[in-house]
Structure 1
Amino acid sequence: MAVVHDWSHDVKKYIPSANEAAIAGIVKHLGIALQSRDASFVACEDKTERDRVRDSFLKKKLGLTDADAELEKSIVEICKKMHGDRDKSRVAFYYMLAEKYGKLSLFS
């Protein structure tokens, strides 16, 4: 039996007043990826991973058209915020990015 992870706890560690509906929407968006322990975390040190976050989430899902360098800066900024966590929750990571760009409404 799979262990149910409390994604909301991961997000609220950084944003205590986080929107539950938006968290649920991000969990739904990520779907099956969250069933893999490896895929449920963001590897900030991995350039390929950061590119994937930029292209698949920021550009495709959030519809951002900023320059890659600007989007990369935002990703690195979240990496720094989450520096204390060895495992950076993808749900919390995406929540903070969506919040930064005012796009949480896409998920709630």
Structure 2
Amino acid sequence: MGKRDELIGKYADDLKNKCGVTPDMELLTKVTIGCGPAIYDADASTVASTQESELETVKQNFLVGKLGLPDGPALDAGIAKAIETYGKSERNKYRAVLYYLLTKHFGKESVYG
């Protein structure tokens, strides 16, 4: 089992145990691959959900750039909901898990089809 497979297992565990979500493993794998080399970097693999600049990056680069959503208040609400699902007290939120939750929230699984 490779490093990426180990990380996907860790992300699936977070989705089940911290988010109360049964992950679609095929989608989770595609979202993880979509994150590219960032998943192997300790800093880039997580999202600091208390930093406004970090959330703006998630919004612009992922929601608008990758998922093709129009910028607006719905994106901020979606991010807030994903963070709440993950658990606000959870200091380190894995980027792939947050992106998975956002992809599901906005119904954009087709982007990874």
TM-score by length of 2: 0.82
1:52 equivalent in structure 2: 57
**Structure 2 residue aligned with 1:103, among 87, 90, 108?**
108
**Structure 1 residue aligned with 2:79, among 65, 75, 80?**
75
1:7 equivalent in structure 2: 11
CA distance in 1, matches of 2:64, 2:82: 16
Q: Can you give the 5+ residue segments of structure 1 that lack an aligned partner in the other structure?
A: none
Q: Can you give the 5+ residue segments of structure 2 that lack an aligned partner in the other structure?
A: none
**Residue 29 (str. 1) matches residue 34 (str. 2):** yes
CA distance in 1, matches of 2:112, 2:13: 17
Per mean C-alpha deviation after superposition, the further-off stretch among 71-80 and 12-21 is 12-21
TM-score by length of 1: 0.85
Structure 1 residues 91, 52: CA separation in 2 closer, same or farther (over 3 Å shift)?
Answer: same
Query: What is the Cα deviation at residue 84 of structure 1?
Result: 3.2
Query: What is the Cα deviation at residue 72 of structure 1?
Result: 1.3
CA distance in 2, matches of 1:106, 1:19: 15
Given that residues 103 and 109 in structure 2 are in contact (C-alpha distance below 8 angstroms), is that contact kept between their aligned partners in structure 1?
yes
Query: What is the Cα deviation at residue 28 of structure 1?
Result: 0.4
Q: How many residues align?
A: 106
Query: What is the Cα deviation at residue 85 of structure 1?
Result: 1.4
The C-alpha deviation readout for 1:80-102, integer Å capped at 9, x for no partner, is 22213121111111111110111
1:70 alignment partner AA: A
More helix by share: 2
- RMSD of the alignment, in Å? 1.9
1:85 alignment partner AA: E
Per mean C-alpha deviation after superposition, the further-off stretch among 4-13 and 23-32 is 4-13
Q: Which has the higher contact order (CA 8 A, sep 6+)?
A: 1
Given that residues 63 and 75 in structure 2 are in contact (C-alpha distance below 8 angstroms), is that contact kept between their aligned partners in structure 1?
yes
